[in-house]
Amino acid sequence: MATSRSEASAVKPSLRKDSPGPPFGRLLIANRGEIAVRIIRACRELGVETVAIYSDADARAAHVRLADSAIRVGPAAPADSYLRIDTIVDAAVRAGAEAIHPGYGFLAERAAFAAAVEAAGIAFVGPSAAVIDALGDKLHARRTARAVGVDAVPGTLDPAPIDRPDQVAGIVAEAERIGFPLLVKAAAGGGGRGMRRVATAAELPAALAAGSHEAASAFGDGAVYLEREIAPARHVEVQLLGDSTGRVVAIGERDCSLQRRHQKLVEEAPAPGLTRTERAELHDLAVRVAAAAGLQNAATAEFLRAPDGRFYFLEVNTRLQVEHGVTELVSGIDIVREQLFLAAGQPLSEAVLDAAARAAEPASHSIEVRISAEDPGRDFAPTPGEVRRWSMPSGPGVRVDTALEAGERVPPEYDNLIAKVMVHARDRDAAIDRLRRALDETEIAGIQTTLPFHRFVARAASFRAGDLSTGWVGEHWDGAAEVARAARTAQRTAGLAVLAAGRGAGPDGGMLAGPVADAPAGRPAGVPASGPGGRQRGDGAARDGAWRQAGLADAVDRWPR
């Protein structure tokens, strides 16, 4: 018999996954936004009570409303709320939580947070503090990879001696051995912080100093190292799960090559173009590194694929990834659910073991785009503000993970990700077709988003051909040119609206001249809120929706202004 939510707090971790009890009675979610909502949904299906935390900026947020209870942890600034280890652990203790899920970002990969959770007698849903500490240091991870015979990207294995002027000649010589161009990279953290590209030996000392300073500010650790730049390269990562018995498996890989400033924009599973043998070998490399580090719970091993097809180890992310959903769709595994049972001390489930056995021969394809409050026409500049219209796609094979609704504000204090649109189909071509359809259904007004960029990707011939690399965005996307093109098509669409209506006014009686202010991205100027293909409302407006369909095809990428 299923356990009710009110009874769940009395249930202790079950001994077997097929037993009626949930893995925990009550769980605190140390995060916000769509990932907090995602975790709440997994817990609700298992009968686990959830406790949300929130800052003043999130008092009315979706994750607060959906959780069984919620606790304020501070003002809007992350340093005073979502990054306060002591406040969050105290909240969990006061709430009687048996476990804490960190989501991703914020404290998810902070060994100090995991250690504090463990010290409080609460289960941490993720790798242990020791594993986070070991693999969070990229140099340690590189040394671990070498120890088990996995090639890392060529580079140094120890921090650069930036505070030793007498060793500058030595580090320059090491850089010349690695080969230019190369990258200065932070030993702790990621996301491009602390990273500097170096083309010549003369640039190296300044790049080391600047990279170290930024790394210290971002991560509290100024250690940096050198790594060869591999270009063109594909960024491919492997989803891993491990249990307390020491068993680690891979349940699939994802291609995350489409990036800007080392931030992922599009992810897909499986990675296109790999053979069964290549997949099996890649999965084995990832498992070897993770097993050597004693991984338990979920993690992702990241690799670069060189032009010659060789894979080089990059790092391990000891947390749930933003893009975990595409692997869930292809593998059939609810990764968050598995995380909860693994944190309760249970072994890998039969479903996970079956998925691992099938991982080298995936039978379907999934693609995710990250819709963010950013302007792709202005180098992806942040665009926080109020969302006035919010219509997400649906239909066969479409999944949307979001916590946003019309009328809500995207706060400037947090990450700009506002929705993840995922599609799932029998193969990659069908998935791209479905993605294009889903994005054409999407309507957002009030703020600029990355929707025009994603529509561009879904229609790009090189993307469909699988011609992917980490330099793809810079090579194919010209934001300023796309803005100009969109403005022209918006004016043309406005003219079509006037002709179709048989008069010089739009559906609301206003003149249609140029791009209409705040018209939703994805709907041409003059198209009413009924959506593409619908009928205009009122006062002699055109009854034939054909012009709207044609206008949509021309102006789907237009920016709201």
Query: Any idea what the Cα angle at residue 539 is, between residues 535 and 541, rounded to 5°?
Result: 40
Whole-structure pTM value: 0.85
Helix (H, G, I), strand (E, B) or coil at 145: helix
Measured CA to CA, the distance from residue 300 to residue 286 in angstroms comes to: 8
Q: Which helix (H) or strand (E) element contains residue 302?
A: strand 297-305
DSSP conformation class of 451: H
Least Cα distance to 405 among 438, 444, 370 occurs for: 444
Helices (H) and strands (E) in the chain, counts: 19, 24
Residue type, 432: I
Measured CA to CA, the distance from residue 507 to residue 536 in angstroms comes to: 7
Helix (H, G, I), strand (E, B) or coil at 303: strand
CA dihedral 441, 447, 449, 455 (to 10 degrees): 30
Helix/strand/coil (H/E/C) assignment for every residue in 246-279: CCEEEEEEEECCCEECCEECEEEECCCCCCHHHH
Measured CA to CA, the distance from residue 103 to residue 267 in angstroms comes to: 18
Q: Which helix (H) or strand (E) element contains residue 227?
A: strand 224-228
Given 319, 389, 399, 548, which residue is catalytic? 319
Measured CA to CA, the distance from residue 71 to residue 93 in angstroms comes to: 12
| Cα 173 from chain centroid (whole Å) | 38
Q: Is 319 a catalytic residue?
A: yes
| Cα 133 from chain centroid (whole Å) | 22
Bridge partners, residue 196, by sequence: 184
Q: Which helix (H) or strand (E) element contains residue 447?
A: none
pLDDT tens for the chain, residues 1 to 561: 333 333 333 333 333 445 558 999 999 999 999 999 999 999 999 999 999 999 999 999 999 999 999 999 999 999 999 999 999 999 999 999 999 999 999 999 999 999 999 999 999 999 999 999 989 889 999 999 999 999 999 999 999 988 787 788 899 999 999 999 999 999 887 778 889 999 999 999 999 999 999 988 878 889 999 999 999 999 999 999 999 999 999 999 999 999 998 899 999 999 999 999 999 999 999 999 999 999 999 999 999 999 999 999 999 999 999 999 999 999 999 999 999 999 999 999 999 999 999 999 999 999 999 999 999 999 999 999 999 999 999 999 999 999 999 999 999 999 999 999 999 999 999 999 999 999 999 999 999 999 999 999 999 999 999 999 999 999 999 999 988 888 787 777 767 766 766 654 444 433 333 333 333 444 433 333 333 433 333 444 444 455 455 444 444 444 544
- Burial class of residue 83, CB neighbours in 10 A (0-12, 13-18, 19+): middle
Pairing of strands 196-198, 182-186: antiparallel
Measured CA to CA, the distance from residue 277 to residue 285 in angstroms comes to: 12
Residue type, 378: R
Q: Which residue has the tokens 């140390």?
A: 30
Take residue 446 and report the two structure tokens written for it.
């009030």
Domains with residue ranges and CATH for the chain: 5-125 (3.40.50.20), 154-228 (3.30.1490.20), 234-477 (3.30.470.20), 480-555 (no CATH)
